[in-house]
A and B are shown apart, each in its own frame.
Chain A
Amino acid sequence: MDAIILQILNGLDKGSAYALIALGLTLIFGTLGVVNFAHGALFMIGAFCAVTLSRILSASHEVLVEGKTDFLGNPLKEDVPYVYDWFGESAGAAIIDWSVPLSILFAIPVMILVGVIMERGLIKHFYKRPHADQILVTFGLAIVLQEVIKYYFGANPIPTAAPEAFKGSFDFGAMIGLDPNTIIYPYWRLIYFCFAAIVIGCVFAFLQFTTFGMVVRAGMADRETVGLLGIDIDKRFTIMFGIAAAVAGLAGVMYVPINPPNYHMGMDFLVLSFVVVVVGGMGSLGGAVLAGFLLGILESFASMREVIDLIPGINQVIIYLVAIIVLLTRPRGLMGRKGVMEE
């Protein structure tokens, strides 16, 4: 029982990342009809927004330390962050400690800007081209973006911690009346799940309850008619691209304390996120979220030792296996609409 709850919890946080990335992917596909292979790179850029802000906040100057030497025997220089000078040591330390949550505010405008530049600068030229061309150009863009990040940040993962208050874990098992120490769960993963739920809720609310969202939904259903009504749907779709980029970026920002970010983290998530979109149904927002969590949980169960012992290697193929089964039984995916990708 406890193992099942534990793996569901594990699946939820993994699923949160899949769902957030897949949501943006399917949003772009649903609005612009573009298969965006650079979407994983947006997740990665979001993570590096957190790294960048953390570095900006930790920017420091050197101070000579009396009586101490470095590894070559020269006088030791210690880095003192500027925020310590400006706000005092305790307030400065608190600002640095909270750099990851603060990065949310930093990442939203940056990611929207990146998204809009990407769409206006490159992707819009490929709207009328076949999907294969779109995949090639966005995949190329993803490689360029990750090499740029590697050039500036190196190939090594960069540890960027969660605030001190959210480090560590809690005993979920004891909270629900099971034996203590059976289900331990880290605080930050719970926060990640809640954060993902809020972001997904906001995107849905935005599309459902605002005029802008209504127009976008109408455009997704029938772009031509909306255009004929005199609405500049392209402009709205560009903004949606920016929003989708911000969603992926936020997923990346908050993921940083879970795993130290590196330049290829976007690629690691990209393929799985595509499977999530396909399983959920191309262009279906609800399907992407549902499939994200579903596949996250399934992946967790498949990595259980008991399952691997029973079917060796299942942990490596489970997602693709499920994708095949879903597509064989429901060719449009779990919540796919008729007519999407079927022309």
Chain B
Amino acid sequence: MSKNFTRRGVLKTGAVAGAGLTLPTYLRAAGHEGFTNAPTGSTVTLGFNVPQTGPYADEGADELRAYELAVEHLNGEGDGGMLQTFSSKALDGTGILGKKVEYVTGDTQTKSDAARASAKSMIEKDGAIMITGGSSSGVAVAVQALCQEAGVMFMAGLTHSNDTTGKDRRANGFRHFFNSYMSGAALAPILVDQYGADRKAYHLTADYNWGYTTEEAVRSSTEALGWETVATVKTPLTQTDFSSYIAPVISSGADVLVLNHYGGNMVNSLTSAVQFGLRAQEVAGKKFEIVVPLYSELMARGAGENIAGILGSQNWDWKIENQLGSRYSGTNAFVKSFGEKYGFPPSQAAHTCYVQTLLYADAVQRAGSFAPCAVVEALEGFEFDGMGNGPTLYRAEDHQCFKDVLVVRGKENPENEFDLVEIVEVTPVDQVTYASDHPQFAGGALGTCNNGA
């Protein structure tokens, strides 16, 4: 071995080479096009970042089905789904700007660090120009920040915390799904209408970001209409048996239990509440009621018959067009495509992911460019229809979609395993619209859009 080839020298060279390799490729890639991962060939790559393992894997699988369907429709395969009903006619089934749509998938594991790692890999290694997905607000906020830094678009999947388009909003990020505030605003009048204005609520809240914003939203909207909040108790996210939290509810004098829980937490807390006979109770002559602010069809299936009669809110439901008419057009077209391909109706998670993909593609098509800043401009203030939610606005100030919100109730006698909820009422968009500087959304700024390289 040469004398010049010393141990120290090897270490130094290795360190320099290592640093060079770890330098994010998005800082180097495609600089000549002026934005990160500018597609140069005949294809464009989208990154679908969903939970493929972990407790939300089933929801992630449904999201992935929707994404695959969206890609099919964008490439002119299948029956076109919502492209037939979408008010914008920019997309013509020839891909996006003539480039065939391809996709890569990542596994978020419903963990922020894993989600960031998979998004980063899709951006750097696979050249994804847009990242979309999620079944958790923590993940959405983390990935949205990463996309902002990297200079790619982030089209949020299922994320319901106010913070995604509130204090953690970013210029490169857009959310179609509704949020905690909207759930509270939609639910409160119906709760008062159904259960009366003189009610005492007891909140059990999952001890993390989404739980807090949902508790605050439901609490402030119900208190504004006369309800009293008896207690709010935080429950650990890892809790599996909620009996010791449920048992003291009755003796507290409360006559409504609000479960600010999602996923497995919701299934278990609701199951415990029903087992402890809360729904059979009467408090001062009033029937005890349980409310689940955010419904998820998959979780409702997990809770089985315990969900019957319980009120909650949803972003969308596959039955809405049949029940409430053509205002919600697009729904049946999507349900037909999805149902024929997979054999069952889509969840609201699948719906929002499908719509987000189409909205992104449409914005690129209208902007005539994949450059994030051009796409952001095309999406800001964009009004559209025919996507299953009625007339919808992508508000420029916070990149949040504004549309009607569904208040649903767990069905008493479901006809099949997909017939889990019935639509009680649809709260018109005006009643769930708020100022972009509303206190529940304060503290954030979009900043400027980032084209990356």
Chain A residues engaging chain B, CB cutoff 8 angstroms: 2-3, 6-7, 10-11, 13-14, 70-72, 150, 154-159, 161, 168-169, 181-182, 184-186, 188-189, 258-260, 262, 264-265, 268-269, 299-301, 303-305, 308, 315-316
Contact = CB atoms under 8 A, between A and B. Distances in A.
Contact of A268 (B238, B277, B302, B418): B238
B422 to A, nearest CB: 14
B244, B252, B277, B345 — which one has the most chain A CB atoms within 10 A of its CB? B244
Nearest to B302: A157
B57 A155 contact: yes
Interface string B304-344: 11100000000000110000000000000001100110000
B14 to A, nearest CB: 30
Given A2-B251, A157-B302, A260-B271, A7 B244 contact: yes
The 4 nearest A-B residue pairs measured at CB:
A159-B304, A155-B57, A169-B277, A157-B302
Contacts of A169: 275-277, 280
B57 to A, nearest CB: 4
A11 B244 contact: yes
Q: How large is the interface on B (under 10, 10 to 19, 20 to 34, 35 or more residues)?
A: 35 or more
B250 interface: yes
B281 A265 contact: no
A259 B318 CA distance: 28
Contact of B58 (A10, A156, A268): A156
Contact of B231 (A2, A186, A188, A305): A305
Given A72-B340, A156-B299, A268-B240, 8 more contacts: A7-B244, A14-B244, A150-B57, A155-B55, A159-B302, A159-B306, A184-B250, A260-B304
A71 B236 contact: no
A189 B243 contact: yes
Interface string B276-308: 110011000000000000000011011111100
A304 to B, nearest CB: 6
B247 A308 contact: no
Nearest to B238: A268
Given A3-B251, A10-B244, A154 B345 contact: no
Given A10-B244, A265-B240, A305-B248, A154 B305 contact: no
B245 interface: yes
A14 B186 CA distance: 37
A71 B251 contact: no
A246 B194 CA distance: 49
Given A157-B302, A184-B277, A71 B418 contact: yes
A10 B252 contact: no
B414 to A, nearest CB: 12
A224 B276 CA distance: 51
B302 A158 contact: yes
Contacts of B301: 156, 159
A71 B271 CA distance: 28
A161 B304 contact: yes
Interface string B353-367: 000000000000000
Contact of B275 (A158, A189, A308): A189
A266 to B, nearest CB: 11
Contacts of B58: 154-156
Contacts of A268: 238, 240
B302 A156 contact: yes
A180 B252 CA distance: 14
A157 B335 CA distance: 25
B236 A315 contact: yes
A137 B5 CA distance: 42
Interface of B: 53-58, 231, 233-236, 238, 240-241, 243-245, 247-248, 250-252, 264, 267-268, 271-272, 275-277, 280-281, 298-299, 301-306, 318-319, 335-336, 339-340, 345, 416, 418
6 contacts: A6-B251, A10-B243, A156-B302, A169-B277, A186-B276, A299-B244
A316 to B, nearest CB: 5
Contacts of B235: 303, 315
B332 to A, nearest CB: 10
A70 B343 CA distance: 11
A260 B271 CA distance: 8
Nearest to A188: B275
A34 to B, nearest CB: 26
B251 A258 contact: no
A154 B280 contact: no
A304 B244 contact: yes
A197 to B, nearest CB: 18
A4 to B, nearest CB: 11
A264 B55 contact: yes
A100 B281 CA distance: 27
A235 to B, nearest CB: 37
A269 B276 CA distance: 22
Given A14-B243, A188-B275, A260-B303, A304 B57 contact: no
A181 B243 contact: no
B131 to A, nearest CB: 22
Contacts of A154: 57-58
B57 A13 contact: no
Given A71-B345, A264-B55, A259 B251 contact: no
A157 B267 contact: yes
A16 to B, nearest CB: 11
B302 A161 contact: no
A158 B304 CA distance: 8
Contacts of B306: 159
Nearest to A14: B241
A273 to B, nearest CB: 13
A7 B247 CA distance: 8
Contacts of A181: 250, 281
A3, A154, A315 — which one has the most chain B CB atoms within 10 A of its CB? A315
Contacts of B281: 181, 184
A71 B336 CA distance: 9
Contacts of A300: 243-244
Contacts of B250: 181-182, 184
Contacts of B234: 308
A71 B241 CA distance: 36
A303 to B, nearest CB: 4
A235 B143 CA distance: 54
Nearest to B230: A305
Contacts of A185: 276
A264 B267 CA distance: 14
Contact of A186 (B56, B251, B277, B318): B277
A67 to B, nearest CB: 13
A204 to B, nearest CB: 25
Given A258-B241, A260-B267, A315-B236, A182 B251 contact: yes
